[in-house]
C-alpha cells in the first residue's frame, strides 16, 4: 500500500485532528506504516521532538497514534499567536520571526509551499501512507490563492480530500454542500466525499439525508461517527470545557483517600501548553478548574500559573484582576503555588524582556528568588532528571533564561517552601513524580488526599487513541476509506456550481 489522504473540515473544530488520529491508529493496527502531517498549524500548544524541533501538540499526539516518534517534517510550519495581529513563525521546528496576518498571507505563506511539499514528499517516501490534516475550512475563498494547508496541498500533492462535518452544531448538509460548491472545478475534483462527526441518535433517520447529499454532489459519505465524550486529543487553541473528559470517557474512580484535592489554574492571556494539567485531571480525586478571579483561589489546595506566549502581558493581567495580590498572599502563607514556564518567570523577582514584549525590565511577583532575561534564541529541549526522589521527563519551550539565586533546586527551577517553579512542561505526566508532588501538596493543604497508586497517564493516552481507532473501524466504511487512501479520489466526480469566484 502507498497513498495518502487529506482530512479537511467544514469549520474549525469540526473534528479534523481527532479523525486524523483515529485513521492513523486504525491503519497502524492493520500493519500499515503510517505518519501524520499538517502543513501549517496555528497553536499555542506545542511539543519538542527528540531532535529539538517545536511542532503542534496535535501532530505529536497523531504520531503517537501511529506509534512513531514525531518529527519536524510532520508540521513544517507552526504559527504561535502573540497578539491580535501577529504570530511567531516556526519553520521546521525553529522560530524565524514575527509576522502580521497580512504579511503572512500577503506573500510569505506562498513562499513556504515548496518547503511544505518537500516535507510531505519525504514522509511519503518513508511511510506506506501519510494522513494529512487541513486547517479551518478549504472553502475560505479569501485565502485560497496563498493556501498551503488545504486544497493547495491536496492539488499539488495529488491527495484525495475527505471533508468532516460536526453535525452536533447543526447545518451539516448545508455545510457539506456549500464547502464543495465554493471550490474551483480543479479543487472539487479532489473532494472524494464526507464524514459526519458527533452524531446523536438513530442513524437510520439520517440516511435519507445522506442519500440526498449524494444525489446533489455525486459524493458518498464515508461514515457517521457517533458522539462520544472524551475523544479530543491535545487541542490547538481555546480551553476545553472538561479537562477530565479529554483524558478518558469513563467515570473517574472516587478518591483513594478521604478528601479531594482542588487545583485552580490561572487562565492567563495567550496561555500555552495548558495540557500540562491534563495529567492532574486524570487522577481520581483531583478536581481541576480554570479561574480568572481572586476569590476563586481561596478554596484551592494548589494554584498553577501556567505557560504563556506573553509573559509580561499575563503578569499585567494578573495584577489588573487582583490575582497577583492573591498569589503573593497565598505564597506568604505557604499555601502551594506552582509556576510552569511563563508562570515560573512571573513568580520571579524581575523580568528583562527586550524580545517578546520589548518592555525592558519589569518587576515580577517576587515569590521565587529568580531573575529572568529574555534571549533571542529559543530554548527547545527534552530534559530529564530527578525530583522528590522520582525520575522526571519534560520538554522546554521558552525565550526566558532564569538565574536562580536561592531556594532549593527543583528541576531547572527552584522551590521555596510550598512555592515551586520550573520551565519544564509535561513533568506531571511522569507518574511517580506526579504522585510524590500531590502528596506534598495534600500535606501542605491539610487534605487527607491519597494519590491512586496505579494511575498511568501514558496508558490513559493509549486507551484514548485506541478508542479513536475503534471509532473509525466500527463506524466508517473502512473498505472504501482504504481504496481512497490507496487510489485517490474517484474519477468523474461532478462539478457543483457556482464554484470559486474569480
Q: Please give the positions annotated as active site.
A: 341, 425
Beta bridge partners of 477: none
- CA dihedral over 309, 313, 316, 317, signed as positive or negative: negative
What ranges make up the beta strands (E) of 134-188? 161-166
Cell (9 digits) for 414: 527552584
Residue 106 contacts by C-beta under 8 Å, 6 or more apart in sequence? 146
Contact 399, 406 (CB under 8 A): no
Cell (9 digits) for 116: 511544505
143/177 Cα distance (integer angstroms) = 19
Beta bridge partners of 492: none
Contact 6, 159 (CB under 8 A): yes
Cα–Cα nearest to 93, from 131, 41, 129, 135 = 41
CA separation, residue 287 to residues 54, 182, 273, 493 (Å) = 30, 45, 19, 51
Strands 307-308, 271-272: parallel, antiparallel or unpaired by DSSP? antiparallel
- Dihedral pair phi/psi, residue 3, rounded to 5°: 180, -170
Contact 371, 348 (CB under 8 A): yes
502/309 Cα distance (integer angstroms) = 38
Cα–Cα nearest to 82, from 255, 296, 308 = 308
Amino acid at each position: 500500500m502507498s497513498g495518502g489522504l487529506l482530512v479537511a473540515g467544514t469549520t474549525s473544530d469540526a473534528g479534523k485532528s481527532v479523525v486524523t488520529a483515529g485513521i492513523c491508529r486504525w491503519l497502524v493496527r492493520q500493519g500499515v506504516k503510517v505518519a501524520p502531517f499538517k502543513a501549517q498549524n496555528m497553536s499555542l500548544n506545542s511539543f519538542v521532538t527528540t531532535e529539538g524541533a517545536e511542532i503542534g501538540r496535535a501532530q505529536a499526539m497523531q504520531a503517537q497514534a501511529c506509534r512513531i516518534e514525531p518529527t519536524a517534517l510532520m508540521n513544517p510550519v507552526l504559527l504561535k499567536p502573540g497578539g491580535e495581529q501577529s504570530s511567531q513563525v516556526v519553520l521546521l521546528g525553529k522560530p524565524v520571526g514575527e509576522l502580521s496576518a497580512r504579511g503572512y498571507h500577503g506573500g510569505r505563506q506562498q513562499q513556504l509551499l515548496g518547503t511544505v511539499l518537500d516535507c510531505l514528499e519525504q514522509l511519503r517516501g518513508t511511510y506506506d501512507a501519510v494522513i494529512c490534516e487541513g486547517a479551518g475550512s478549504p472553502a475560505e475563498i479569501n485565502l485560497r490563492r496563498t493556501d498551503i494547508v488545504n486544497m493547495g496541498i491536496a492539488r499539488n500533492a495529488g491527495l484525495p480530500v475527505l471533508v468532516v462535518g460536526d453535525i452536533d452544531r447543526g447545518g451539516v448538509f448545508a455545510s457539506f454542500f456549500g464547502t464543495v460548491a465554493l471550490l474551483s472545478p480543479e479543487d472539487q475534483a479532489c473532494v472524494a466525499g464526507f464524514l459526519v462527526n458527533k452524531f446523536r441518535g438513530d442513524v437510520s433517520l439520517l440516511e435519507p439525508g445522506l442519500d440526498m447529499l449524494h444525489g446533489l454532489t455525486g459524493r458518498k459519505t464515508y461514515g457517521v461517527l457517533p458522539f462520544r465524550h472524551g475523544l479530543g486529543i491535545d487541542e490547538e487553541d481555546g480551553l476545553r470545557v472538561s479537562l477530565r473528559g479529554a483524558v478518558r470517557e469513563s467515570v473517574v474512580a472516587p478518591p483513594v483517600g478521604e478528601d479531594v484535592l482542588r487545583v485552580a489554574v490561572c487562565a492567563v492571556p495567550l496561555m500555552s501548553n495548558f495540557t500540562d494539567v491534563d495529567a492532574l485531571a486524570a487522577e481520581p480525586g483531583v478536581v481541576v478548574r480554570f479561574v480568572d478571579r481572586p476569590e476563586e483561589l481561596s478554596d484551592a489546595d494548589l494554584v498553577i500559573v501556567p505557560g504563556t506566549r506573553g509573559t509580561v502581558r499575563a503578569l499585567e493581567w494578573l495584577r489588573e484582576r487582583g490575582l497577583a495580590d492573591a498569589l503573593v498572599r497565598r505564597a506568604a502563607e505557604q499555601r502551594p503555588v506552582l509556576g510552569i514556564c511563563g508562570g515560573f518567570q512571573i513568580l520571579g523577582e524581575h523580568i528583562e524582556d527586550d524580545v517578546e514584549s520589548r518592555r525592558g525590565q519589569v518587576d515580577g511577583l517576587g515569590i521565587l528568588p529568580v531573575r529572568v532575561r529574555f534571549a533571542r534564541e529559543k530554548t527547545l529541549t527534552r530534559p530529564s532528571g530527578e525530583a522528590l526522589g522520582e525520575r522526571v521527563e519534560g520538554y522546554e519551550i521558552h525565550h526566558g533564561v532564569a538565574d536562580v539565586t536561592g531556594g532549593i533546586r527543583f528541576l531547572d527551577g527552584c522551590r521555596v517552601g510550598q512555592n515551586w517553579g520550573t520551565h519544564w512542561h509535561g513533568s506531571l505526566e511522569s507518574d511517580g513524580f506526579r504522585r510524590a508532588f500531590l502528596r506534598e501538596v495534600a500535606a501542605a493543604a491539610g487534605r487527607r488526599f491519597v494519590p491512586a497508586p496505579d494511575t498511568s497517564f501514558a496508558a490513559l493516552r493509549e486507551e484514548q487513541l485506541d478508542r479513536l481507532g475503534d471509532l473509525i473501524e466500527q463506524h466508517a466504511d473502512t473498505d472504501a476509506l482504504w481504496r481512497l487512501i490507496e487510489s485517490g479520489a474517484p474519477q468523474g466526480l461532478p462539478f457543483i456550481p457556482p464554484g470559486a469566484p474569480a
